[in-house]
Amino acid sequence: MSTAVLRTPEERFARLPGYAYAPHYVEVDGLRMHYVDVGPRRAAPVVLLHGEPTWSYLYRHMIEPLVAAGHRVLAPDFIGCGRSDKPAAIADYSYQRHVDWAWSWFEQLALTDVRLFCQDWGSLIGLRLVAEHPSAFARVFVGNGFLPTGDARLPLLFRLWRAFARYSPVFPVGALVQAGSRRWLSADERAAYAAPFPDARYMAGIRAFPRLVPVTPDDPASAPNRAAWEALAGFDKPVHTCFADGDPITRGAERALRRRIPGAAEAAHTTIRGARHFLQEDQGAAIARFMIEQMRGDARRPPPAGDQRSSR
């Protein structure tokens, strides 16, 4: 790292509404990476990858239904987010580093037979992982996400968001999540989204994300993402889309996923009604029900007696 690495004080995460999970950590590239890990230890893992400027708190409405259905559920915080360490310079972040950090987390936990849900930057990272390590994944759910290559012009709203993240003197995380949600969040919920960031020094990672999205064909991430699309053209395990009906940024992206990935051809798809960009916040229970229904026929590894690992 070219600069200091910040670690959010633990007391910032005390008494967050709906989120009472014990923290777990691994070290990736010398940085501490946090994750939630609940449910039967020997069940096939369901991994939930968040976007920006959110963290694993975004999945609190989905975790409990998935665990109740017998799944082991893991939700990491990307480096720079949530309870994970936060390099303090924007230059310390790159698309490739995020992919490498995330895969190191998968490797250290020896995750295989994974059911993945990914949204926003969770999709930009998660779909790269699926393309580069297809044997690790059994089923994929994409909600409000895509894998851009810089070959197509991105929506005006995203370009405005990119400029805001780069130049705005303030970055009100709770208000930003509220703007991308249809449901009205309580003051405590908005504060929970802002909890990882005591002041502006901690926000380099979440401010960096928009500028890491490839917007030109010669962006450093463009060639790896094109290669990922080529790999995904041979991925025949189930790929489900569950996009919101009210997200102006990713609207229509599900059509390319269904057309270009063989595993999507025979998979079930749904539209999440009454939701915007942060569909997990608006309709988390509905998304979990859809996932549970699709995973119902998957082979399960029954947990041994007494192996229920919920920290609630």
- Active site residues per annotation: 120, 247, 277
Residue at 17: amino acid letter = P
Identify any residues that bridge with 118 across adjacent strands, giving them in sequence order. Answer: 49, 142
Q: Give, in order, the Cα–Cα distances in Å from 10 to each of 38, 92, 140, 230.
A: 20, 23, 32, 42
Q: At what angle do helices 95-108 and 222-232 cross, to 10 degrees?
A: 50
- The residue among 99, 152, 122 whose CA lies nearest residue 47 is 122
What percent of the residues of the chain are helix, what percent strand, and what percent coil, each to the nearest 5? 40, 15, 45
Half-sphere exposure of 223 (CA within 13 A, CB side): 2
